[in-house]
Amino acid sequence: MLAGVATLCAQEAPLGNSVKINLPADSPLTLISANLGESHVSQRGSAMVVDLDVSLTLHNASPKSVRGVTLLVAAQEFTPGGKAAVSVPSLDVGPDQNFPVHVKLRLLRPAQMGAGPLVQVNLDGVLFQDFSFYGPNRLDCRRTMTAWEMQAERDRKYFKSILASRGLNGLKQAMLESLNRQAERPRLDVQVSRGRAVGSAAVAAHDEQFAFLHFPGAPVEPVDGWAEVSGSEARNPRIDVRNLSSRPVRYVEIGWIVSDRAGHRFLAASVPASGPTFNLKAGSTSRVLQDTELRFSRDGGPVSIAGMTGFVGQVEFADGTVWIPNRAALANARLLGILPPSPEEQRLMDLYRKKGPQALADELNRF
């Protein structure tokens, strides 16, 4: 028994300098502490497993309130093409205040690790209350965090209007509706790979046309689109979009909904288009395309794709401003029950569940 305990101890070891936190010298955030907690490396058969549990405390050294932060997590020694990001939106961190960020990572590889840090954590961006931004923006987090902040403003405005017009009971009712919607939201398991890799298509592929939802006032409209579909797999979505606005657009994101043979609708993925090959001048048409493969399943069984619907979920103009659909448009298109809630709505639901309607009302009245 003692020998067994000794072997177990030999297989588990704490991690010392395995994580490197890189904040630029002129960063508006400074690192107060980085706690590795119960991070450890262990042997599982011939493979090595690294469990990293990093609790960071960051300090807002800028004169502005921070609304969101994105950290880029890279482990090049593992999965060379892979990278990850941890974002914390819906923050309200004033100048000279601290806030925590939690990074939990598991790495597995068949061989022993080399020397040096296993994981590098870099600051990718900080979004401030006035929508100004700091950071290298390698992951395009400026647009992502701006869109989250706009969703937060939209959803706070919605719940505040309910509080103003229908009082605390109305707010409770709206929250219960949100909670029910999320509990009943149909979920789909999706596996993603670049190129043809996810599954082995036994069914012959065919081109499936997209049907489109149109939102009033959207600056971009989808015109035509299709994807290769075989059974529960879909490949290479291609969607033509037209810029209806008078401003050039540098990013468009199409929401992709699939329906099964029973008529259930699921959010499958978002199809983004950006980069040097995507050029959408005012009044012009361009193509959103991705060389990717997705496989859909539910409760362990494949989901046969019977139909596909697309809608414009996000647009970024060349000047950096972002458009998102309003709440009424999403409700009219019956999308609120299909799309995940915005990060802010998720936070408000959690607050309501844990602290009740009065705490939620107090939070909404804060700003």
Partner 1 sequence: MTHPDPSTLALYAGQDLGWFARWRTARHLARCRECRDEVQAFASVSDALIPLNELPPISWSRLAAEMRANIRLGLAAGECVRAEETGRPPGWWSGARALTALASMIALVAAGLFLQRPVPQAPPVADNGSAVLRATANGIELREGGESLSLLHVRTADVTYSAGAQGSMRAGYVDSETGNVTINDVYVQ
Binding positions for partner 1, 127-166, rule CB under 8 A: 139, 148
> Should residue 300 be labelled a site residue for partner 1 when binding is judged by CB under 8 A?
yes
Q: Mask: binding to partner 1, 319-338, rule CB under 8 A, as x and -?
A: --------------------
Q: How far is the CB of 285 from partner 1 (least distance, A)?
A: 20
Q: Which of residues 182-241 bind partner 1 (CB under 8 A)?
A: 182, 187, 189-195, 197-200, 202, 232, 237
List the one residue from 14, 211, 353, 365 that touches partner 1 (CB under 8 A): 353
Measured over the CA atoms of residue 17, residue 21, residue 24 and residue 28, the dihedral's sign is negative
One of 18, 146, 286, 290 touching partner 1 (CB under 8 A): 290
Of the pair 263, 300, the CB lying nearest partner 1 is at 300
Site for partner 1 in 73-132 (CB under 8 A): 73, 75, 78-91, 99-110
Q: Extract the tokens encoding 366.
A: 């804060």
Which of 362, 322, 24 lies closest to 160 in space, CA to CA? 362
Contact residue for partner 1 among 67, 142, 172, 250 (CB under 8 A): 172
Contact 53, 86 (CB under 8 A): no
Nearest C-alpha neighbor of 348 from the set 166, 131, 153, 86? 153
By CB under 8 A, is residue 310 in contact with partner 1?
Answer: no
- Contact present, 1 and 33 (Cβ < 8 Å): no
Please say which residue, 220 or 269, places its beta carbon nearer to partner 1.
269
Nearest to 64 by CA among 158, 136, 127, 137: 127
Q: Identify which range of 204-212, 217-225, 262-270, 318-326 contacts partner 1 by CB under 8 A.
A: 262-270
Count of residues binding partner 1 (CB under 8 A)? Answer: 81
Assess contact for 198 and 294: CB atoms under 8 A.
yes
Could you tell me the smallest distance in angstroms from the CB atom of residue 283 to partner 1?
26
Is there binding between residue 341 and partner 1 (CB under 8 A)? yes
Residue 330 beta carbon to partner 1: minimum distance, rounded to whole angstroms? 15
Separation of alpha carbons 342 and 365, rounded Å: 19
Q: Taking CB under 8 A as the criterion, which residues in 9-38 touch partner 1?
A: 37-38
User: What is the CA angle 201-256-260, rounded to 5?
Assistant: 55
Q: Does residue number 271 form part of the binding site for partner 1 (CB under 8 A)?
A: yes
Closest by alpha carbon to 16, among 113, 152, 133, 149? 113
CB of 174 to partner 1, least distance (A): 12
Assess contact for 77 and 50: CB atoms under 8 A: no
- Phi, psi of 276, rounded to the nearest 5 degrees: -65, -25
